[in-house]
A and B are shown apart, each in its own frame.
Chain A
Amino acid sequence: MTTTSPPTDPVALRAAYLERLAASDEPGAVAVALGALDAGVDAETVLLDVVAGAQREVGDLWAAGEWTVVQEHVATHISERVVAAVAQRAPAPASSALGKVAVACLDGEWHGLPARLLAEVLARHGWAVEFLGASVPAAQLATHLHRAGPDVVAISSSLPSRLPAARRMVEACHATGTPVLAGGAAFGEDGRWARAVGADGWAPDGRAAAAMLAADPDGPWFADEAATATGTPGDVPAREEQAVLHARRAELVRHVAAALRPETAGGPVGTVPDELADDLGHLVDFLAAAVFVDDPGLFDGFVRWVGTVTIPDGLRTGEVAAALDALAAALADSPRTVRLLRSAPGAHGGQPATVG
């Protein structure tokens, strides 16, 4: 492989690929990927450095409010097609006797592409891979575990708000003695929350996952075994407060919406704009996840991010403090939750917000 001519340089390829995604040009995107393969770039590089890399940028564009959810969906759809096309043009070799891996996205995690890419990469490293798809309910995973008996389950999620679901999945796996390797941004930049939900290891990306599984197919992969062995994910108060937040989610969204925009109070559900309801729902979800893993950093990160993105009708920067207050008032019975709310950036009595 050479990096002198543009078509084989991963960075240039990624830029060209992202351009096709931005134009919603599926044939063009496929052509970029297959062209790279034909020029001698290996499939793993195309999948991880070009496709996954470009998708990360798409995610950033969405997070920055520059792309809509629908645009992001279209880009992801195109990338799914590209992965299929790459798999067809450069098929993975027949699996060796390494073992079976089940790759699944957390329940409620709709970004199936990173998991799909992981499945492709692991297949290329000799594993027999079963890809269970996006948003896999824990019960479905359990059924699969009993039927297929994989050696390892790799779970993927990009949203930390799905962490409570991760615990259910990890428990389902551990009940059958199957180790769990977690991956994706949901588990924190250093995978710290993977430990908190009881996973046996965390990989930052597909390459790392393949290397970790090659070095030790059984796990646990966390260096200090004791911490994972004894760590019951989410102690009892954490679980209880998280459960309260989950059960009261819809009520809390309405309550906070009414506090922020009194004109929506008392009306039917539909009077709260979808965008505001979505933002507040995410706020509650992230709060629940932060309570669950007992890490204020998780919630703070989300609160900062909410402050940077302006979606019409969504939660406005100036409303964040009031929203946190309204939540704290409604959740006075949950001391941990209230502590998180009070210490969040921008909260009254908390750290100053980093974004105006």
Chain B
Amino acid sequence: MENMKVLVVDDEGDFIELFVKRLKKRQIDIIGVESGYRALDILKKEKIDVVLLDVKMPGMDGIDTLREIKTKYPLIEVIMITGHGSVESGLQGMIHGAYDYVLKPFDLEVLLNKLKKAFERKRLKEKA
């Protein structure tokens, strides 16, 4: 997972704060923001490899943000985070190119493994 840069997007500030702290402890370069708009701003400036994206957010929701990210930066991999597990949004996410889904609350090791796989995929795409 060397050199992987992660962006986490969730409207719950407390969650972001704790999550960023935990991943930094694991030596992962990570930024956290609280909305889809802010996420798109960050992507303009920073070279991000994997985005962790909450499905349910006020304003621009997770699916809209995913669509924007995938149109503008097709190489970036996106993992959707969901608390309620809606099948319809799950299907939409997969159709619009999400790499994976993770249900809240999640086990950190499971998530780290998903991040690793998403990053591996991005590298494979870059080589192709």
Is chain B a partner of chain A in the same complex?
no
Seen from chain B, the residues whose Cβ lies within 8 Å of a Cβ on chain A are none
